[in-house]
Amino acid sequence: MKILAITNAVPDPRGTLTTGDLNINSGGVKWAINPYDEYAVEQAVQLKEQRDDVDEVIVIAVGGDEAVTALRHAMAMGADRGIHIVCNDVWHDDLYVAKCIADAIETSGDTFDLLLCGKTNLSRDSESMGPALAEFLDIPHVGSVITLVVGDESATATHRVAGANETVEVKLPALVMCDKTLVDPRYPPLPKVMQARKKPLETIEPTTITSKTAVIEFNSPPEKGACTVIEGSPEEMASELLRVLREEAKVL
């Protein structure tokens, strides 16, 4: 069995970001692995540790130099090797990323039984890459997975839907989008980080496709008007708040 984990680099959420040319100004940005992708990599590595039929865990990312940060982190966590699809525009839409990965899989000749990715990409604020990739590969997928059992021919995945936990059985090969609480991602110790630098990392060019959509403006969100402070006793505050919500903001 071969497992592919898909990863991305995102700006460290603690850093400050400024606007650049139709994107963030990437100078000085500290990049880290997308937090949800850590669940995907952890799940892949745990499967390899638990089963003796998992030959390889491969990790793949699309992006510029920052993608290497995510790939090396995933290899430090235990992935065996990495594939870096080089794409230097900092903005690429999810469908483009999914197509690049699908094409890379096709040309590599590798066949994967299980593909794992994070539920959300925190740069693009998006959950679209996984379902799009599954569709390009013509395999089933399950979103927001919180428990996963992988058998020989199928996988059983539980995810949250409105008011319920739904369990879905999918035939392999399949793609699973990992949500938090699925597994507890390990923090790789320094020796693993050093070892990961020596693991094979293949660099490939994307196929000649481009994002079909384009970013034409990139701005900070409009400032909210100043906050209106409501005063008085609890009862006065409550009635004034309900009044403004009904009459001024018209949201009730």
- 10 Å CB burial of residue 17 (0-12, 13-18, 19+) is middle
Question: Which strand (E) or helix (H) includes residue 95?
Answer: helix 94-108
Report, in Å, the least distance between residue 42 CB and other proteins.
Answer: 15
27 vs 222 by CB, closer to other proteins: 222
Q: How far is the CB of 18 from other proteins (least distance, A)?
A: 10
| Identity of the residue, 52 or 138, whose beta carbon is nearer to other proteins in the bound complex | 138
Of 10 and 75, CB closest to other proteins: 10
Nearest approach, Cβ of residue 29 and other proteins (Å)? 10
Min dist. Cβ of residue 12 to other proteins (A): 11
Token pair for residue 99? 């197509």
CA of residue 251 relative to chain centroid, distance: 34
Q: Of 190 and 252, which CB lies nearer to other proteins in the complex structure?
A: 252
In the complex with other proteins, the residue whose CB is nearer, 169 or 202, is 169
218, 219, 220, 226: CA torsion to nearest 10: -150
CA distance 93 to 211: 6
Q: 3-state class of 8 per DSSP?
A: coil
CB of 195 to other proteins, least distance (A): 29
Strands 174-178 and 114-118: parallel
Total length of the chain: 252
Q: Of 134 and 196, which CB lies nearer to other proteins in the complex structure?
A: 134
Nearest distance, CB of residue 134 and other proteins, angstroms: 7
Measure the CA–CA gap between 21 and 23, rounded to whole angstroms.
5
Give burial (CB, 10 Å; 0-12/13-18/19+) of 151: exposed
